[in-house]
Amino acid sequence: MGVRVPPSALIRTPDYDYHIIVGGFVFCSTLLRFRALDIQLEKKNPTEASIKITLSEADYQPKVEEKIRDYRKKAQIKGFRPGKVPDSLIRKMYGKAILVDEVNHTLSHALQDYLRDNKINVLGEPLPQREDADAIDWDKQKEFTFTYNIGMAGDFSVKLDEVKVARYSVDVNDALMDETIENIRTQPQLGNSVEVDEYQEGDLVSGELKAEEGDFSHNGLLAPNDLSDDTKKLFKGLKKGDSVSFDIKEAFNNPTALATATGLSPEEAEKLEGDFTFTVEKINRQEPAELNQELFDKVFGPGVVSSEEEFRTKVRETIAENYERESERLTNAKIREELLANTDIELPDDFLKTWLKATNEKVSDEDLEKEYPMFARDLRWTLIQNKLAEENEVKVDPKDVVENVKEGIRQQFRSYGMGDEMEDMLDNYATNYLQDKEGQNYMQVYNKLRHDKVMEVVRQKVQLEENTVTAEEFRNQLQQQ
């Protein structure tokens, strides 16, 4: 529905820019300072407030006059020499637009500076009360008053020392080793395909699929595992030259499998009906790969291991590393759940819903109410991360962002069989990626690295209860998340 704005995009610290809307014009602020203005903060409750800014003529008029003089110097109007256009004509043609521009500009910076100087961390963006802008008489008024509604998170603390989370280590025993090695040996790209005389479950069958009525005929590959259970039973014990008949509408598990078996598009295959006969021409069986150097090289790269013992050791290390990564992710997820459950953060719910409606015009009230709880949950987690990062002085160096992207590209190159010869190109690839999507890629990598650093600190401060479990028990824990 479009309301799932990333929570990190909603949280504005006083160092961020704002877009302030006045009289239909939109301007973005920069960090400049202005003379003291009449600004009043009125707190409605701990999470909502309004900021009233009043501009007198002295606040904006000097800049208006400066711009009018600049326009007069540059304006090219028929009948007047450059720089000789009457001041009155410039005011008549451009005066109101310049005034609106400068009022917006002054308001934008004034609000930005006020939020920064008073250390007010707002959620979303200030929402202008549009009736203020609608009521302005730009031809007569000299003083302007504008009010902005803001939302803030209530004060909260994160008590890491009270968090208790189970952490799991997987026992990489011989049974798990044997299971993993057997799975490796039977991978289609690693095992050996051999032709056999009689079908067994799991075999692939080639032959002719032909309609018993009509002229449809197709020679191709059939995977009985794509068939319904009743149809699959018909293939048991079949040999070359044998035939089996079935109703084409009831034979296949899904339209994609039917299309693959018939060589047609899903739309065309869907039109087939009636009984069909499949005549077996060839049966292929996948046999496990032998534990030899060819397999070792395919799995870990040429020359990395050179014996079955080294292969088993490397497999054990890889299993342990993979489960360790999964365990870290599971531990982080459990910590997140504990912190969310035990950290009370009051949000400006009414303000945020109004803000979301204002920035997602097509969203219905029903959809907003349905999805807001998940949105608020994600926002609370972002606030918790931000507080933990601030309290523990967690920072991400831009160089780390670049290096992270470069390492990802290196891994891609290696998977394509390319190596050090591509190193000189990494800087350009990384720069192009990080600049793409108007900087969103950069922020995505930055936020991930920041999250990882925060969680590394958190895991050192919470109480982790170490548990050694079997692979099956660990997988059950993953499924519960």
Fold of 7-152: Alpha-Beta Plaits (3.30.70)
pLDDT band at 1 (very low <50, low <70, confident <90, very high): very low
**Whole-number pLDDT of residue 280:** 94
Query: Between helices 308-342 and 471-480, what is the axis angle to 10°?
Result: 30
Q: Which residues belong to CATH 3.30.70.1050 in the chain? A: 7-152
pLDDT band at 341 (very low <50, low <70, confident <90, very high): very high
462 has a pLDDT exceeding 90: yes
**Whole-number pLDDT of residue 176:** 92
pLDDT band at 418 (very low <50, low <70, confident <90, very high): low
Range with the poorest average pLDDT among 75-79, 220-224, 458-462: 75-79
Average pLDDT over residues 206-214: 92
457 token code pair = 């600190």
35 has a pLDDT exceeding 80: no
Assign domain 160-171+298-480 one CATH number from 1.20.120, 3.40.50, 1.10.3120, 3.30.200: 1.10.3120
Q: Which residues belong to CATH 3.10.50 in the chain? A: 192-287
**Whole-number pLDDT of residue 22:** 35
21 has a pLDDT exceeding 70: no
- Give the angle subtended at the CA of 11 by the CAs of 5 and 17, to the nearest 5°: 105
Nearest to residue 48, comparing CAs of 147, 158, 134, 117?
A: 147
Q: Which residues belong to CATH 1.10.3120 in the chain? A: 160-171+298-480
412 has a pLDDT exceeding 90: no
**Whole-number pLDDT of residue 15:** 37
Average pLDDT over residues 354-382: 90
33 has a pLDDT exceeding 80: no
214 has a pLDDT exceeding 90: no
Give 124-143 pLDDT, tens digit per residue.
889 998 887 788 888 888 99
Average pLDDT over residues 329-341: 94
Average pLDDT taken over every residue of the chain: 85
Average pLDDT over residues 161-168: 92
d(CA 159, CA 161): 6
Average pLDDT over residues 437-447: 89
**Whole-number pLDDT of residue 322:** 94
Q: Which residue has the higher pLDDT, 191 or 291?
A: 291
Give 291-330 pLDDT, tens digit per residue.
999 999 888 888 889 999 999 999 999 999 999 999 999 9
Is 192-287 CATH 1.10.3470? no
